[in-house]
Structure 1
Amino acid sequence: MLDEHTITRLAAELAEADRTHGVIPRITARHPEATVEDSYAIQGVWRDAQQAAGRRLIGRKIGLTSKAMQQATGITEPDYGVMFDDTVYASGAEIPFDHFSNVRIEVELAFMLARPLEGPDCTLDDALAAIDYAVPALEVLNSHIELEGRTIVDTISDNAAYGAMVLGDVRKRPDEIDLRWVSALLHRNGEIEETGVAAGVLGHPATGVAWLANKFSRHGARLEAGELILAGSFTRPMWVSRGDDVLCDYGPMGVIQCRFV
C-alpha cells in the first residue's frame, strides 16, 4: 500500500490537473503496487480538500456497472466517486468544453434518496423503498489521468472520472414505471450515436444503489436522505468536441439537451 505522503501528493496532482484541465501520467505506471484501497484514499484526500475549500457534496456517482462500459474501458469492477453542487446543469445548458479533459458523455438514471440507506445487506428492494424518484441524467466524463493502460486504481483515484451531470425534467417514482425498461437514444449533432436500455446496469439501474450502500458499510458509513445517486451508464461513452449539440431522448421520461461551447 502507498504511504500517506504519496497519497497526499497524488491527490494534490489530481487537484492541480482539475484546476488546469490537464492530464497526468498513470498512477499505476508510477506506483504499480497501488491498491484499490489506496485509490479511494487518494480520492478521499482530494474530496476533503474540495469540501474544505467550500464545495458542497450533493451525492455519489457509480461507474462501470454495465457490460457496455466495462467493455469500453477494460475494467470489470464497479467504482464510485463524489458529486459537488457546482457540477450540476439543467437540460438546455451550454457547458464550457474547456472545463473538462477527455470529454465524453454517458447515458444514465439518477436517484434521489428519500431516506438513509445502509448495508451490509442492502437489497434492490431496500434501495427501491428508499428512493424518492428517478430522473434521467447525462454524465460528463472528465479524465485527468492518461487513458491508455489505465486500471481501476487510476480511475477511482480520479474521482471515478466524474466531471458533471445534466439533469432531465421528468421525475418518476419507482412504482410509476418499470425502470429496467427505460431506454434512450443518444444523438450528437442530429445523428444517433448510442442506444441502450437501463436494465443493462446490473439487471436493474437501482441495483447499483444497493451495491454502494453495502460498499459504504465496510467503512461504517451510509447513504443519506437527500443524496442524489448517479447509477451508471447503459451506453458506451460518446466523445464530444467543442460546438457539439447533444440530445438524449428517454421516451416517456423526456429529453435532455446540452451544447458544448
Structure 2
Amino acid sequence: MDDASARRAAQSLLAAHKANLQFTSLAPPDKPATISDAYDIQDSYVALLRGEHGDTVGYKVGLTSATMQKFCGIDHPIAGVVLASRVHRSGATIRRADFGRLGLEFEIAVRIKSDVPVAAAPVSAEMIAPHVGGVCAAIEMVDDRNADYGNLDVLSLVSDNSWNGGIVLSEFAAKWPDLESALGRAAKDGVMFGEGYGRDILGHPFNSVAWLATQLNARGVGLKAGQVVMTGSVMKTVFPDSGALYRFAFDGLGAVEVSVR
C-alpha cells in the first residue's frame, strides 16, 4: 500500500477512536487488500499514537489459541505494537470509560534479553529461547469498540493495531516452569471463572514469540533487547460491565491483578 493511502486510513482510525465510533471495516479507497497492507496502515496508525503514548516497548500477538481463533472467526495469529504509556504494573486501576469497549485477555508475557537477529528463514521457538530473559503472568486490555464478531474484518482489525489498549504485567521471573503444562487461572473478585494452559498458546508461548519474530523479519524489523511480547490469551476475552478486581495466577509465575472501574 502506498504511504498516502496508509496515512489516510490511519487518520480515519484515529478519528474513529476519538469519536468513540463502533469498529467497522475500513472504507475504500484506503481499505487494505492484503495483510501486508494492513500492517502498513498499522505502522502509520502507531506513528500517530506515539506523540501521546510514547515509543514502542514491545508487541502483542493475538489469536494464538483455538478458543480465540474460534471466537473471532480468524484462523491465524495477528500482531500489534505496545507503546510505553500503555504498560502498567500489577495492581493498576483501569477505567472502562477510557475504552470504546474494554476487553481483558489473560496471557503469558516474555521479556527479550538480547536482540533477535533478523533472518530470512522462519524463526523457531528453539531459536527464540536463548533470547528470553524473563516470563510473567499478564493481562492485555483490548478495545474492540463493540465490534460485530459475526462479521469481523481481520485486515481492518490488524490495521487498528490489533486492538491493543495496554498491558498489565506481574514481576518477571528469571526462571520459569515447563510452560506447556503450566496452568493459569483467572478470577473476578475472588471467584474463578476461567483457565488455560501454556500449551494453549500455539503449543508453547515461545512459538508465539517465534511467529512474531518471523512476521517482523518479513518487514525488516527485529525483536530488541528489553522489549516485552504478549504471547496471546489462554481463554476467551472477558468484557467487564462493572467495576471489579481481576486476578490471573499462573503456576510458577505468580499472579497479576488489575482493578476495573
TM-score > 0.5 by shorter chain: yes
Q: 2:145 and 2:124 mapped to 1: Cα distance? A: 34
Q: Which amino acid aligns with 1:66?
A: S
Provide the residue aligned with 1:134 in structure 2. Answer: 135
CA displacement at 1:9 relative to structure 2: 2.2
- The answer to whether residue 128 in structure 2 is matched with residue 124 in structure 1 is no
Q: 1:41 and 1:100 mapped to 2: Cα distance? A: 24
Query: What does 1:74-85 correspond to in 2, within 5 Å?
Result: 74-85=73-84
Structure 1, 25-34 or 219-228: larger mean CA deviation: 25-34
Output the TM-score relative to the length of structure 1. 0.90
* CA offset digits 1:104-139 (Å, max 9, x no partner): 111111111111113333211111111111111101
SS at match of 1:246: strand
Provide the residue aligned with 1:50 in structure 2. Answer: 49
- Counterparts in 2 of 1:134 and 1:182: CA distance versus 1, 3 Å: same
Provide the residue aligned with 2:179 in structure 1. Answer: 179
Provide the residue aligned with 2:156 in structure 1. Answer: 154
Q: Which amino acid aligns with 1:101?
A: G
| 8 A Cα contact 2:112 2:132, kept in partner | yes
| 8 A Cα contact 1:89 1:164, kept in partner | yes
Query: What does 1:1-261 correspond to in 2, within 5 Å?
Result: 4-27=3-26, 34-52=33-51, 55-117=54-116, 118-119=118-119, 120-144=121-145, 146-148=147-149, 149-173=151-175, 176-261=176-261
Q: Which amino acid aligns with 2:132?
A: I
- Counterparts in 2 of 1:179 and 1:28: CA distance versus 1, 3 Å: farther
* CA offset digits 1:130-184 (Å, max 9, x no partner): 11111111011112473341122021011011111111125143xx421112211
SS at match of 2:64: coil
Q: 2:114 and 2:71 mapped to 1: Cα distance? A: 34
Q: 1:7 and 1:170 mapped to 2: Cα distance? A: 36
CA displacement at 1:223 relative to structure 2: 1.0
| 8 A Cα contact 1:145 1:158, kept in partner | no
Unaligned runs of 5+ in 2: none
Say how many residue pairs are matched. 258
CA displacement at 1:43 relative to structure 2: 0.6
Output the TM-score relative to the length of structure 2. 0.90
Q: 1:203 and 1:127 mapped to 2: Cα distance? A: 15
